[in-house]
Each structure stands twice: as C-alpha cells, then as structure tokens.
Amino acid sequence: MAKTILQTVRFSVPPERLFDIYMDSRKHSAATDSRASISRRVGGRFTAHDGWIRGKNLVVVPKRLIVQSWRGADWKKTELDSILILTFSGARGRARLTMVHANVPERSYAGISRGWNTYYWKPWRAHLRRAR
C-alpha cells in the first residue's frame, strides 16, 4: 500500500531562496552535490540526484509552491508516480518548507523518508552556511 510522508523544516533564509535552490538546475546541483536538471515551467521535466529521481512539474507558483510527479529509478513499472508538494512560507528571513510526498511505495517509504533529510535538508543547510 502506498504511503505519505509529511515533513516541515525551517531555514534561516527567505523562503524565496529555497524555492530558487530547488528550481534552478545549477543551484539544486550545488546544494545537493549531485547532478540535477529542472525545468521551471508547468509540464516541464526534471531529474535529480544524478538521474536517480525523475518526474514532471504539475503546478508551479513562483516562490510559493511546487507540485511534481516524482519517481525513483528503482521503482517498478507497475508502481504509479508519487506526488511531491513543496510549500514555501515564512517571513523576516526565516523560511518554513512543508513537504508532502504522497503515493510513495511502501517498500520505499523508510528510505525516502530518511532520504529527504540525508539528501536534501542537511546538504541544503551546509550549502547555505558555505554561501554566507
């Protein structure tokens, strides 16, 4: 049965900066130390983590919201894409990023749930510290 991951993380930067890191291929690659190619347009495709993740932008509200279809390279063809929703909010230079990752295959749930922290939130924090 598919599962849903919900995580909320806070950063000491404006939310717009986090949005830009995620949606800019060069910045995304630098912040995760892995190759990413991301279209900014609705319907545009993306890959991340050296092609391990791929999908399509379903909704993009600049600086506020990203909704993507998302799947891992090891997913079975019979497994449906998951849906990733990233919401960026905050004020006074402090961001709150809320992530909902729905329809994650049960067999991948634990790894993906941990993976967000390991491959995104921790590396982003280190990247932002270096960029100060």
How many domains does the chain contain in total? 1
pLDDT value for 124: 97
pLDDT value for 132: 74
pLDDT value for 37: 98
Host domain of residue 88: 3-130
The answer for residues whose C-beta is within 8 angstroms of residue 52's C-beta and 6 or more apart is 72, 73
CATH number for the domain harbouring residue 108: 3.30.530.20
Helix (H) or strand (E) holding 126: helix 122-130
pLDDT value for 102: 98
Query: What is the mean pLDDT, run by run of 10 residues, along the chain of 132 residues?
Result: 96 96 97 97 97 97 97 95 97 94 96 97 95 78
pLDDT value for 131: 83
